[in-house]
A and B are shown apart, each in its own frame.
Chain A
């Protein structure tokens, strides 16, 4: 037994482990630099800001990742047991102080820089003139309510909710302001016009998630959560639920259509009926 332990440090495991670590580093670098799997293009200024912060974080963590893994590969190869005597060093306070300060500046600095994109999303209200849209989540459907010609959302009441008879958000039709509200299963917004969503849920927690907006926000029962964005690119984008909401979570799916201002007005004037304009079936997901 004694004999075997003495010889446990042969070159083979050191070499294999070092090579595996280098393969890990190489393949990870390749996949991130070649963007083999990547984000869809962002369609908001905030989205581009978040992409920038992601890239910055990728560079800094990438340096630490490569440095640590390659360093690990190097020490296990260099200091494998070849019969030498190990050093008896207990440490080095100067180095402790250097790497503590360096990582503090790097990591906390990164955290402070990330504040800007977050502030743009959450620390300011929507601009005056932003289009108000109410988003309601329920197992397992999305509904979007527009205030209609009167510009006012009508009253809703849980007792009036009846998805099966066409009143999924529970409009109280005794309120005149409610009668012209438009409730549709697709989110249609005009391009280059800020939108203010108010998120609410009827039953459990859901989460509004559009990848191209770089935006995710939970819909919490009992709360009305505002978020705003300004989309700059016409097109149709998938809308997914990102918070586990029950057995149909995976199929709680819709889309967001960003259309020209004129198309938007035409669609809204038609009471939310799907219309064919500009090569897109506005009001109905592909």
Chain B
């Protein structure tokens, strides 16, 4: 592929606010749109979690009525917060920011392309995602409120309508419709990422010279393509059960509060769980794989060392993606599915620990012998490694069906998945932000505020989520709006109080980030083209990049992505696009 062919794709720089910033086909604008959408969603998601934490330790607390209608939170309001917190965070933050946001912005630039393969489809997938977000948030404002069935929406609770509880009427309909729209958007996005990575790489940029970030986005896109189709189908089936009288998930003879539910027969509640988790488990990796790529990229850059075991990293990410599709049953050990299949799901799940451990060891190997600079981006990348280890290891308990008999649906699970898929992935997003912000906005973020943000957040998230494991050891069930009915939960109050306080402090510290973000966008010091002395193609173009990314001069690639501290070279980094002749020799 020559640079000439690239030029054919490039549309002229759009003029006019709407075409430039709203209905833009520029992958960079779309990337920022995704990131701002995720930022909006994460603020709502954090507020919802704080309301839950407040209610758990101060059950009678009075809220302003514009926040909680009626003033004192009811059990159904609590559960609607559970549902919406999980849904917003999983879909509109953890799927949206690391992949669609940063991936959109940087994948084309990192591979030396002028844009994504299908710019109009790219725009369409953002606006579908936005529409899905609006429909989701609308569920709060309809009669009955948001659904109470959790982000997993297990039927029959989610399948019978208003009879099973408030929020299960129109609120649940909107939830399903939103998820279906979101799935469609994700499918379009996944196709675009895959086509872009395969077709638009610069001359010389073989797959084994791709930055690990690009590898992570590529593998994540494949997971998205295979997973979201199934969720879309499941959502449509559930909607049909609710609206068209079908019985995919609803068996005959159900009685809700003494009223026989007529018109359904033959459905299987377990079918939903199989379809949902066939999507849901790969979704965990959709959230965290981009973070792994970012962590590798940043650890290498700021320890001035090549990534240790680059190929092993690529194989590990690929096998995590591959195995990730064969382990969904570990969410269903106590569901009533065949107990024999549990053994297969268990052993496959345990074996995902192997590529995960490979990645961890290679991260340590990357730092080993380096020259480590503790920028905010680097601190968050190191934090990612620590959280990934902690959250991953608790997974080894839950992967064993016998131990899951006790821990299933307790706070042990809540602690586990928040560490690994929530907080680790969010640390990946923070690291990516501090690292790439100069390229995106042409200005540096404030390092002092960035570090303050890191220290409080790092300590804070451990204080929130480690104690949840201890709650799980005592047996505290999750998704309880109130602990008074179970006597064994009374002694756990002090842990819950500790978690709530830690959550308030940690959430408050995020204001430093938001302040830093918007202040630096306008007032930060001007950024040079390559402030971190990094090697990959995004640092070879001007800051911020022009509309066609490289101003018409598309790069060719002559080496791997992480050539740091090469003996004999004048500088401790060799950018990918320099020809061998252009590399300065050490004196």
Contact = CB atoms under 8 A, between A and B. Distances in A.
The answer to whether A and B interact is yes
Contact of A37 (B304, B473, B481): B473
Nearest to A64: B393
A24 interface: yes
Interface string B515-543: 00000000001011001110000000000
A220 B458 contact: no
Contacts of A164: 258
B234 interface: no
Nearest to B312: A96
B194 interface: no
Contact of A202 (B154, B255, B473): B255
Contacts of B482: 250-251
Contacts of A36: 470
A174 interface: no
A257 interface: no
A159 interface: yes
B505 interface: no
Contacts, number: 357
B336 A203 contact: no
Interface stretch (B23-31, B110-118, B338-346): B338-346
B418 interface: no
Contacts of A122: 339, 342
A123 B343 CA distance: 11
Contact of B495 (A37, A214, A243, A286): A37
Interface residues of A, number: 112
Contact of A20 (B82, B349, B459, B479): B459
A16 B252 CA distance: 61
A286 B455 CA distance: 47
A10 interface: yes
A96 B255 contact: no
Given A88-B565, A244-B150, A247-B79, A13 B405 contact: no
B396 A107 contact: yes
A269 interface: no
Interface string A153-169: 00000110111100000
B367 A76 contact: yes
B306 A158 contact: no
A50 B334 CA distance: 15
B119 interface: no
- Shortest 3 CB-CB contacts between residues of A and residues of B: A222-B251, A122-B339, A111-B350
B510 interface: no
A103 B354 contact: yes
Contact of B269 (A13, A21, A69, A220): A220
Nearest to A101: B354
A92 B531 CA distance: 30
Nearest to A120: B402
Nearest to A244: B479
A86 B353 contact: no
A215 B480 CA distance: 19
Contact of B572 (A75, A85, A107): A85
Interface string A33-56: 000111110000000011001100
B165 A247 contact: yes
Contacts of B340: 123
Contacts of A191: none
B501 to A, nearest CB: 17
B304 A207 contact: no
B318 interface: no
A81 B227 CA distance: 43
Which of A49, A69, A158, A162 gathers the greatest number of chain B CB atoms within 10 Å?
A158
